Every structure is written in C-alpha cells, then in structure tokens.
Structure 1
Amino acid sequence: MTVTAEPAAQVDRWVSAQGISLEVRGAGDPVLLLHGIGGSAAACGALAEVLSSHGYRTYCWDAPGYGRSADPAPSSDGSTERCDHGVVVADLIAELGAEPIHLLGTSWGGVIATAVAAANPAAVRSLVLADSTRGSGVNQQRAQGMRARIGELRELGGPAFAAARAGRLVSTACDAGIARAVESDMARVRLPGYAAAAEFMARTDTGPSLAAVAAPTLVLVGADDIVTGVDESRLLADAIPGARFGLILDAGHAAVQEKPVETAAHILRFWKELGE
C-alpha cells in the first residue's frame, strides 16, 4: 500500500462536558488518538492528517491537564494526581457517540488504550499501540522512577525538563525540525496533567489483562526506541491474542511524529486486512 502525505485538512475543535479538548479532522469511521506523557494533541497531528486524508474522522485528544483541556478533577480524597484516564476515555467515546471506535495510543496513551480495550470490549473496534508498555507498575523500581518525574518537573519547570529528556525520544536520524517540535511540546506540559499521568503509569500494570483484549490489535514500535524499547512492544504483541507487530524503521520512541506516513501505512494496511 502506497501512502502519501496529503494537504492539511481543516482542524476543528470539540470540547466534552468534562472539558476534554479534541482536534477533529476529516469524515468517516472514527479514530481516537491518545498522545504520550510528554505530548499533547499536536503530537498526533501529522499522523491524524494522513489517516483523515484516507477517509477517517480523527480525534486527537489533549489529556486532562494537557493542552487546551481542563485540569484533572479532584478525586474523593481531594487529590488531583489520581485520575482514572481509562474511565475518562471510555466516557469520552460514549459522549462522542463513536462506539465502536478505532483506538490508537502512543506510549502512555497506549497504556490507557489497552486498559480501555480490556474493560470496554464493545467500545473498541481496533487497537493500535505505538511505542507503548504495560505501565510502570510492573515493579516498584519503575513505579518509583515514574513518580520521581513529578518532582523533577516541579523543580526544573517545563523547558528545562524537556531539554533534559526530549533528546532520548527521537532517533539519531530524526529531522531537526521534528526534534525541536517534540521538545517544544514537552516544554509546555503542565504539572497537574503530568502528575496525574505519572501517577496513573506508576500504579498501572496492564500485563494481567492483555489476554483479555478482544479487539484486533496492531503493535508498532520505532526500531531505534530506547525509552520503552522493541522488546516491550514484542511482549505486548505476544501477549494480546492475535496481535500483529510492526517496526517503524529509522524512528525512535516518538515514531508517530518522526515517521507519520510510514506509521499510517502500517495502520491502514492493518485496517484493510480487517476489512475496515
């Protein structure tokens, strides 16, 4: 399948009853794209452009506390760091009236997407996980490391935090402009959103629920991903029944930004094989 980047589609904005902002493109079967922990709707924009140009209606969310979305609502104990993003996404899909939906998550967004697919099988038409993981709750060391990032962001501020971390997200062959965009996106993260995301990751291990994922699944990973890595993506693909696996060459952890056309080619081929 030959996939090309088409002229930019019109981007509309839709806001849910809970203050979740979505960038909306195109028309056709619905696709919800969930960004990574250091991103925003913009991180999925180039991929959404390609998918929408091939007949899909794409929704790129700003997670709670990211981009144009409202900060996470306090939990019953008053904490804003305990947000069940899986429930937020399931409610969002229902509010959109988009069930069943093609659900695509990158990195942290993939952890959320996995949780949604396992808990709400009727709501998910297909699942795409890009450079994702089971979550940081797989062991105490990873959970502590994830929670430590909250204090790091609080101490350094967004720009310095991004300068220290963003370079690891892309391959050595990454276009300089894209690398700057990845860092710029991370530099704009807000502490309430990031803290809730990091806490979600720290307490989440989707490993036990992977076998329960019923949606047709495609697992993608940048061949040069040094953050979550190829082995973790292979583990996901092996554990989810019938899942397909694909490598994005010359791309790192931010493969959906580095190689949106190549990523879209994998996804569109997958959907075509499903008869979608």
Structure 2
Amino acid sequence: MSAPTPVGAPTATAARVHVQEAGEQGPLLLCLHGIGSSSAAFADQLAELSAYVRVVAWDAPGYAASADPDEPLDLDGFADAAAEVIRARAADAHVLGVSWGGVIALRLAARHPDLVRSLIVADSSPGSGTDEAKAAAMRARADELATLGPRAFAESRGPRLVSPGAPGELVRRVVDTMASSVRLPGYGYAAESMASADLRAELPGIAAPTLVICGEHDTVTGIEAGQAIAGAIHRTAYVIVKDAGHLANQEQPRAFDAWVLSHLRITDRIPEHIARSATEQPSYV
C-alpha cells in the first residue's frame, strides 16, 4: 500500500492518529470504523477502492495503534479529530462511516461541512441518545470491558455483528479485530459519545449527498435506523445489502464496494469504468 503525499503539515492530534492508506489518485475517502473495531475492518475497501480513490482508514483516538487521547473526547472531539486527518491530506474528502463511525461522519458533516464532499453511512443510527434504554446499555459497555477484558468482551459481542450465515472465518476475524483494538479509556469515551448522541435535529441540515447502506440482517442498529437517517437528509439514496448483518462492508464487500463506487461516480469526477461491478446505481433526490 502506498500513501499519498500529505497536503500541509499534520496537526498534533492528526499525527497521533494511526491510519492505513492506499491509492495514489483521485479524491480522498476517509473510512471511520465502528465502536468495536479499527482500520482493519476496511481491509477489503483498502484493497478494492484504492484503484480509484485515495483510501484512508483510521484507528480512532484511543483504539488499536492510535495514541490514547490526552483528555476525554465527546462526539464533537472525535469529529474534530477526523477533520484534522482530512486537513492533513486534502482540502476535503468523501467520508465512509460504519456504525459508530457513521455517527461521527454525520456530526463531521454537520460541524465541518466544507470538509465533506459526500457521505456513505453504513449500518448506523442517529445515536443511542434517541432512546433511554439504548443509552444506558451503551454506557454500561465500558464496565463490561473492564470486567471481562478485551478478549472475552470481543467473544461475547463479535458474533452478533454478522448474519447467522456468516462463515466462521469472518466471525473469528471480527472477534480478533475487536480484541486487539478496544481498550480503556478510549472505548469508554466512544461509548459515552454514542450514549449522548441524538442527531435527529441536525440531520436535515446536512447538505452533502449521502448514501445510506444497511445489511439485510442487521439486528444491532437495524434497517429502521438507517431509514431514519435517509429520510431526514435531503439528498440521499438508501440501499439494503442482501445476506449481510451489521458489518455489511466486511460480510459482503463486493456488493458494498459496488454501491460505494457508484456513489463516488455520481458525486465526483471519477471515470465511468469504476462502476463496472455495479448492476444498479443510486438516485439522489
């Protein structure tokens, strides 16, 4: 994998955030992982999409190879950290967020609209703060991680992130990624950022064209949560990926990447041939 030449000097925060980069041409695509994951979740996207765009997948602050934050981060703090990663490399970026990463991407688009060319929000929601029970369960996760430790925590949570028909190798990969990525205090900051988030009021103000994707068998955030996002943003397309659970980008990467490529072709100056694997294309209203 080859890294693009940075535009400008990285800020201190951006320099402390570990990323995987691939691709040397086209616009920037920043990939933001879910609350129990890392840049490793985007291995398929780094391999496939980097033929057409510059792909950057981060380890969020306090995750995997990234440094722990110097102070607690809320959702704005994570969004600002993502903004600094973009500014260190380009004038703006397409932003792909999965689950918690999708919530960060939505706040990034609302808070720094000049940095976001478009959004791809996958298996996400307007935040756990939309429901008291969901918020309480999210806040309890930090204690669960502290009690169980990363490996047992991952083994208890990882299998539910894919569909019942997912191959065992994928389940093991998801569990291993979670076990090697999550730790305190970063995971606790992330859980609190989700528990406090209710983006419903700000979604209508997001101007970036947005592709919302949801796995057919996602029981974590679910189809209804994706519909709530798509229905609130003015320029959206909504896609369900068949035979996929909450991690559609990992479970059905060919279908997922085809939709992303179609979205990028529509929203940016990317050659027609990049959509070669897509049988349909989203329509934005």
Q: TM-score, normalised by structure 2?
A: 0.87
**Mean Cα deviation higher: 104-113 or 38-47:** 38-47
Q: Is it true that 1:26 corresponds to 2:19 in the alignment?
A: no
1:217 to 210, 221, 227: 210
Cα distance per residue 1:166-205 (max 9 Å; x no partner): 1110011212211110011111211222111101111111
Provide closer, same or farther for how the CA distance between residues 193 and 47 of structure 1 changes in structure 2, counting only shifts above 3 A. same
Q: 2:63 aligns with which of 66, 75, 83?
A: 66
The one-letter amino acid of 1:165's match is R
- Aligned equivalents of 1:228, 1:117: Cα separation in 2: 20
Structure 2 CA distance, aligned partners of 1:271 and 1:24?
Answer: 18
Q: Is 1:131 matched up with 2:123?
A: yes
Structure 1 residue 176 corresponds to structure 2 residue 168: yes
Q: Distance in 1 between matches of 2:119 and 2:136?
A: 29
Equivalent in 106, 110, 134 of residue 114 of structure 1: 106
1:151 deviates by 0.3
- Residues 137-179 of structure 1 deviation map (CA, whole Å, 9 limit, x = unaligned): 1132221110000100000001111111111100112122111
**1:199 — aligned with what?**
192
The DSSP-based 3-state class of the residue aligned with 1:167 is helix
The equivalent of 1:45 in structure 2 is 43
In structure 1, list runs of 5 or more residues that go unmatched. 1-9, 75-79
Aligned residues: 260
Letter aligned with residue 111 of structure 1 = V
1:152 to 130, 144, 149: 144
Residue 226 of structure 2 aligns to a residue whose secondary structure is helix
**Whole-angstrom distance in 1 between the partners of 2:86 and 2:70:** 18
Identify if the C-alpha distance between structure 1 residues 93 and 147 changes in structure 2 by more than 3 Å, giving closer, same or farther.
same
Deviations 1:13-56 (A, max 9, x none): 99863200110101221100000000000011212211112x11
Matched position secondary structure for 1:207: coil
Length-normalised TM-score, structure 1: 0.90
3-state DSSP of counterpart to 2:88? helix
Contact 2:217 2:246 in 1 (8 A): yes
Distance 1:275 1:129 in 2: 17
Aligned amino acid, residue 124 of structure 1:
V
Which residue number corresponds to residue 17 of structure 1?
12
Match of 1:77 in 2: none
Percentage of identical aligned residues:
42
CA RMSD, 1 decimal: 1.6
Asked if the contact 1:81/1:192 (under 8 Å) is kept, the reply is no
